[in-house]
């Protein structure tokens, strides 16, 4: 036991002490927040350097110029005149101090056409803001022209945003609002965490094993401890290093995310009119958000966290043991790929199955893939936020841990032979012989 603890400590320190590990662990959250903030920053840069442009408006109808609201990008100035020739003259006289002239023709209500004159190209943003501002106003004017009382109200009432609420009956007779969107998102995030962890740290274990072999340190170490302890110590040590990294990421991400969020929130407020201009009802955004938040809050997290941890351990144990065994069988990392593909296919099938199950988390594929131990740690994540019959849960756990322990045993037998095997390339047939 002491030896196992020593090996775990060495493996853990050998990863956590690495410069690349420290840099990646500390920088990644900043990188993620930065990448997430890029669109906001770009929008900000796009607008901040601009001088407000002067746009002249010739409104032949005399009704619509007021619909064009000036903002810090465009300042709309109504001018007198009623022909295109007037516009041309005015533009030339202004001598570059105005960017464009908008002419709203007398028959705009029937033709639904507005002209913008300019010598250069016109920024799409200007076209969009003119379009947004005038469409609504002209539509209203047309409706009014139809002469039907309360037509606008009637149309508004027919326009609905259907809200499907999923209510589940609790056993105690209470109703609870079920949480489809938030549950789906949560399940997918958990599935991806396990997927990434298994692939990333599994490969790290494999490379570690290969390195010990090419270093020729392994024979010295196994003359002091059992190969099984070396393998197990490596799996646990690397796993703990991965958990450390994840914990740091969670803490850093939430801190950096909050700080960056509040910093960008100031400039974000300036953008709100744009959102409104884009035709999105801000109240609807708020409504959708609060619904997701309400759903997220209604999820029962305790069983999810417990099951996540159990599947995480089981899945990691299962796959890392396979990676360790494969690493022991080759002399250099480049030889590993020919033994690796069946494992990679299994993991990729699992993540695809998980995505496929999102729409039907209680269907037959979801059921089978969450029972089979090689896919269950990933696929079950999708199903966790939904109610799963207890027997399925128990069966899945028992199969996963039973298989994981069996795989560790098999891997240890391969590992024991593999670490001392040099030279001839190993086939799957050889691996089966070694298990015996």
CA distances from 42 to 49, 172, 264, 276 (A): 11, 52, 12, 19
Cβ atoms 349, 343 nearer than 8 A: no
Closer CB to another protein, residue 20 or residue 161? 20
Closer CB to another protein, residue 17 or residue 62? 17
Closer CB to another protein, residue 173 or residue 423? 423
According to CB under 8 A, which residues from 156 to 215 bind another protein?
A: 212, 215
Smallest gap from Cβ 235 to another protein, in A, equals: 18
Contact status: 18 vs another protein (CB under 8 A): yes
Number of residues that bind another protein (CB under 8 A): 21
Smallest gap from Cβ 8 to another protein, in A, equals: 12
Closer CB to another protein, residue 188 or residue 225? 225
Smallest gap from Cβ 5 to another protein, in A, equals: 10
Closer CB to another protein, residue 294 or residue 433? 433
Closer CB to another protein, residue 109 or residue 331? 331
One symbol per residue from 415 to 434: x for binding another protein (CB under 8 A), - otherwise; what is it? -----x------------x-
Smallest gap from Cβ 6 to another protein, in A, equals: 6
One symbol per residue from 376 to 415: x for binding another protein (CB under 8 A), - otherwise; what is it? ----------------------------------------
Give the number of other Cβ atoms within 10 Å of residue 78's Cβ: 15
User: What whole-number distance in Å separates Cα of residue 234 and Cα of residue 200?
Assistant: 15
Positive or negative CA dihedral for 431, 432, 433, 436?
A: positive
User: What whole-number distance in Å separates Cα of residue 347 and Cα of residue 374?
Assistant: 8
Q: Which of 6, 37, 151, 333 binds another protein (CB under 8 A)?
A: 6
Candidates 214, 229, 249; CA nearest to 336 is 214
Closer CB to another protein, residue 150 or residue 215? 215
Closer CB to another protein, residue 294 or residue 425? 425
Smallest gap from Cβ 332 to another protein, in A, equals: 14
Closer CB to another protein, residue 10 or residue 63? 10
Closer CB to another protein, residue 171 or residue 215? 215
User: What whole-number distance in Å separates Cα of residue 210 and Cα of residue 323?
Assistant: 10
Smallest gap from Cβ 362 to another protein, in A, equals: 49
**Rounded (5°) CA angle 354-360-364:** 85
Closer CB to another protein, residue 85 or residue 215? 215
Smallest gap from Cβ 211 to another protein, in A, equals: 8
Centroid of chain to Cα 28 = 15
Residue 1 makes CB contacts below 8 A (sequence gap 6+) with none
Smallest gap from Cβ 204 to another protein, in A, equals: 14
Smallest gap from Cβ 335 to another protein, in A, equals: 18
One symbol per residue from 262 to 301: x for binding another protein (CB under 8 A), - otherwise; what is it? ----------------------------------------
Closer CB to another protein, residue 211 or residue 335? 211
Smallest gap from Cβ 347 to another protein, in A, equals: 28
Smallest gap from Cβ 410 to another protein, in A, equals: 18
Smallest gap from Cβ 19 to another protein, in A, equals: 10
One symbol per residue from 208 to 237: x for binding another protein (CB under 8 A), - otherwise; what is it? ----x--xxx-xxxxxxxxx----------
Instruction: Please name every residue paired with 102 in a beta bridge, in sequence order, or none if there are none.
Output: 57, 116
Instruction: Note the residues at the interface with another protein (CB under 8 A).
Output: 3, 6-7, 10, 14, 18, 212, 215-217, 219-227, 420, 433
């Amino acid at each position: 036991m002491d030896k196992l603890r020593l090996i775990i400590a060495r493996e853990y320190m050998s990863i956590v002490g690495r410069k690349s590990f420290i840099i990646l662990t500390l920088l990644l959250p900043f990188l993620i927040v930065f990448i997430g903030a890029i669109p906001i920053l770009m929008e900000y840069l796009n607008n901040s350097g601009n001088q407000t442009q002067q746009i002249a408006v010739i409104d032949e109808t005399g009704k619509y110029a007021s619909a064009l609201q000036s903002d810090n990008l465009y300042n709309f100035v109504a001018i007198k005149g009623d022909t295109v020739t007037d516009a041309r003259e005015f533009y030339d006289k202004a001598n570059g101090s105005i960017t464009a002239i908008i002419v709203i023709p007398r028959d705009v209500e029937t033709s639904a056409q507005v002209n913008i004159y300019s010598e250069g190209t016109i920024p799409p943003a200007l076209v969009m803001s003119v379009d947004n501002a005038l469409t609504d106003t002209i539509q209203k004017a047309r409706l009014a022209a139809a002469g039907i009382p309360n037509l606008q109200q009637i149309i508004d009432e027919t326009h609905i945003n259907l809200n499907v609420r999923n209510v589940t009956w609790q056993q105690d007779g209470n109703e609870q609002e079920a949480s489809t969107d938030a549950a789906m998102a949560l399940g997918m995030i958990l599935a991806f965490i396990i997927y990434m962890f298994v692939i990333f740290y599994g490969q790290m274990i494999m490379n570690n094993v290969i390195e010990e072999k090419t270093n020729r340190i392994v024979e010295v170490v196994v003359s002091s401890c059992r190969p099984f302890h070396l393998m197990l110590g490596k799996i646990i040590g690397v796993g703990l290093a991965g958990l450390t990294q994840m914990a740091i990421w969670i803490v850093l991400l939430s801190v950096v995310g909050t700080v960056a969020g509040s910093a960008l929130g100031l400039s974000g407020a300036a953008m709100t009119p744009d959102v409104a201009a884009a035709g999105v009802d801000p109240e609807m955004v708020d409504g959708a958000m609060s619904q997701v938040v309400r759903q997220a809050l209604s999820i029962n997290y305790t069983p999810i966290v417990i099951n996540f941890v159990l599947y995480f351990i089981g899945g990691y144990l299962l796959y890392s043991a396979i990676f360790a065994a494969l690493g022991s069988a080759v002399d250099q990392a480049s030889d590993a790929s020919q033994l690796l593909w069946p494992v990679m296919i299994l993991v990729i099938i699992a993540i695809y199955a998980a995505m496929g199950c999102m729409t039907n988390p209680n269907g037959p594929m979801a059921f089978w893939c969450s029972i089979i131990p090689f896919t269950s740690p990933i696929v079950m994540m999708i199903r966790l936020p939904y109610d799963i019959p207890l027997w399925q849960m128990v069966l899945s756990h028992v199969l996963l841990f039973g298989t994981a322990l069996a795989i560790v045993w098999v891997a240890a037998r391969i590992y024991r032979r593999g670490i001392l095997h040099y030279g001839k390339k190993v086939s799957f047939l050889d691996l089966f012989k070694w298990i015996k």
